Structure 1
Amino acid sequence: MNKNGITSLAAEKARDNSVWVHDLSWDGRGVARREDGRVLMIYGALPGDSVHARVLNEPKKGPVDATIGTMIQESPQRVPHPCPHYAQGCPASQLGAVRREFSLEWKHNHLVETLRRIGGLEGVFVEPVIPSPKQWRYRERLEFQIKQGMNGLDMGYMGQSGLVSILDCRLGSVTIREPFAKLRENLSILEPHQHLGSRVPLRLLLRDDGRGKAIAVLYVMTKGPVDSRPLEDWLKTGGFGGWEIRRVRNQKLRFVSSELVITSGNPTVQIRIAGRDLILTATSFSQVNRKAANVMVDLMLEQINPDGRLLDLYGGYGRFGLAYADRGGEALVVDSAPDALESGRAYVRNTGLLVKYQENDLGRDDLSGIDASSFDAAIIDPPHAGADGAVVDLLNGRGPERLIYVSCHPAALARDLKLLSGYHVDLIVPIDMFPSTSDLETLVILDRK
Structure 2
Amino acid sequence: MVDINKNQIYEATIEGFTSEGLGVCRINGRAVFVKGALPGETWRLRIVKAGKTAVYARGETCLGASPERTEPGCPLFGRCGGCGLMHMSYREELKMKLARVNDAFRRIGGLQIEASEIIPADAILRYRNKSVYNISEGNGVPVFGFYRSGSHDVVSAQGCPLQSETADAAAAAVCAWMKSHKISAYNDKSGKGAVRHVFVRSARDGSAVCCVVSAEGFGKHTAFLVSALREACPELTGIVLCINKTRGNTMLAGDFYTLWGNAELRDVLCGFDFLLSPQSFFQINPVQAEKLYDLAVGFAMPDSGGTILDLYCGAGTISLCLARRAEKVIGAEIVPEAVENARENARLNGITNAEFLLGDAAEAAKNLADRGIHPDAVVVDPPRKGLSPEVIDEICRMAPERMVYVSCNPASLARDLKRFSEFGYAPSVGIAVDMFPRTT
- TM-score, normalised with respect to structure 1: 0.85
- Pair 1:226-2:193 in alignment: no
CA change 1:140–1:274 in 2 (3 A) is closer
Matched ranges for 1:101-112 at <5 A: 101-112=91-102
CA change 1:324–1:194 in 2 (3 A) is closer
2:304 matched to which residue of 1? 306
- Contact 2:332–2:364 (8 Å) recurs in 1: no
Aligned pair partner of 2:180 in 189, 194, 200: 189
- Pair 1:84-2:81 in alignment: no
1:446 matched to which residue of 2? none
- Separation in 1 of the partners of 2:58 and 2:208? 36
> Which residue identity is paired with 1:189?
S
Structure 1 residue 328, shift from structure 2 partner:
4.7
Structure 1 residue 59, shift from structure 2 partner:
2.7
> Which residue identity is paired with 1:361?
D
Matched ranges for 1:10-159 at <5 A: 11-13=5-7, 15-37=8-30, 39-60=31-52, 62-86=53-77, 89-122=79-112, 124-150=113-139, 152-159=141-148
- Contact 2:36–2:87 (8 Å) recurs in 1: no
- Contact 1:373–1:399 (8 Å) recurs in 2: no
SS in 2 for 1:94: coil
What are the superposed Cα offsets for residues 251-289 of structure 1, whole Å, 9 maximum, x if unpaired? 42234x322255322232223256552211122110000
Show structure 2 runs of 5+ residues with no match. Answer: none
2:242 matched to which residue of 1? 246
- Pair 1:214-2:204 in alignment: no
1:431 matched to which residue of 2? 433
- Contact 1:362–1:388 (8 Å) recurs in 2: no
- Contact 1:211–1:270 (8 Å) recurs in 2: no
Matched ranges for 1:349-428 at <5 A: 349-350=347-348, 351-362=350-361, 365=363, 367-371=365-369, 374-421=374-421, 422=423, 423-428=425-430
CA change 1:245–1:106 in 2 (3 A) is same
CA change 1:203–1:66 in 2 (3 A) is farther
Structure 1 residue 154, shift from structure 2 partner:
1.3
> Which residue identity is paired with 2:88?
V
What are the superposed Cα offsets for residues 332-365 of structure 1, whole Å, 9 maximum, x if unpaired? 00110111111111222341430001111125x4
- TM-score, normalised with respect to structure 2: 0.87
Show structure 1 runs of 5+ residues with no match. Answer: 1-6, 439-449
What are the superposed Cα offsets for residues 41-69 of structure 1, whole Å, 9 maximum, x if unpaired? 33333333333444444332x22344434
- Contact 1:23–1:31 (8 Å) recurs in 2: yes
- Separation in 2 of the partners of 1:107 and 1:273? 25
- Contact 1:306–1:324 (8 Å) recurs in 2: no
What are the superposed Cα offsets for residues 205-255 of structure 1, whole Å, 9 maximum, x if unpaired? 1110444122212222x4xx4335446634532323212121220442234
- Contact 1:218–1:245 (8 Å) recurs in 2: yes
Give RMSD over aligned pairs. 2.6
> Which residue identity is paired with 1:408?
C
1:348 matched to which residue of 2? 346
- Contact 2:334–2:360 (8 Å) recurs in 1: yes
- Contact 1:141–1:205 (8 Å) recurs in 2: yes
- Contact 2:213–2:251 (8 Å) recurs in 1: yes
CA change 1:275–1:193 in 2 (3 A) is closer
**Which stretch has the larger CA shift, 258-267 or 131-140?**
258-267
2:256 matched to which residue of 1? 260
Structure 1 residue 294, shift from structure 2 partner:
0.5
What are the superposed Cα offsets for residues 273-312 of structure 1, whole Å, 9 maximum, x if unpaired? 5655221112211000001000111112222122111100
How many residues get paired? 419
SS in 2 for 1:241: strand
